[in-house]
Amino acid sequence: MRNSRIAGVGHYVPDRVVTNKDLEKLMDTSDEWIRERTGIVERRYFQEGVDTTSNMGAEASRRALAMAGVEAKDVDMIVFATLSPDYIFPGSGVLMQRELGLKEIPALDVRNQCSGFIYALSVADQFIKTGMYNTVLVVGAEIHSSGLDFSTRGRGVSVIFGDGAGAVVLTPSESNDKGILSTHLHADGELAEELAVTAPNSNKKDRLTHEMIDDGSIYPYMNGNLVFKHAVTRFPEVIEEALQKNGYKPSDIDLLVPHQANLRITSYIQQKMGLPTEKVMSNIHKYGNTTAASVPIALSEAYEEGRVKEGDLVCLAAFGSGFTWASALIRW
In sequence order, what E strands does 23-135 have?
A: 42-45, 77-81, 107-110
Q: Can the peptide bond before residue 200 be classed as cis, meaning omega within 30 degrees of 0?
A: yes
Q: Rounded to whole angstroms, how far apart are CA atoms 57 and 13?
A: 10
Residue 289 designated active-site: yes
Q: Quick check: 38 and 284 in contact, CB under 8 A? A: yes
Residue 259 designated active-site: yes
Q: CB-based burial of residue 242 (10 Å sphere; 0-12 exposed, 13-18 middle, 19+ buried)?
A: buried
Nearest Cα residue to 165 out of 278, 265, 83, 248: 83
Q: CB-based burial of residue 28 (10 Å sphere; 0-12 exposed, 13-18 middle, 19+ buried)?
A: exposed
Q: Rounded to whole angstroms, how far apart are CA atoms 210 and 216?
A: 10
Catalytic residue among 3, 262, 289, 315: 289
Neighbours of 323 (CB within 10 A): 23
Q: How far is CA 301 from CA 21, 47, 60, 234, 295, in A?
A: 25, 22, 12, 25, 10
Catalytic residue among 20, 259, 262, 315: 259
Q: Rounded to whole angstroms, how far apart are CA atoms 119 and 221?
A: 23
Catalytic residue among 114, 144, 184, 262: 114
In sequence order, what E strands does 159-205 have?
A: 164-172, 179-187, 195-196
Q: Which residues are catalytic?
A: 114, 259, 289
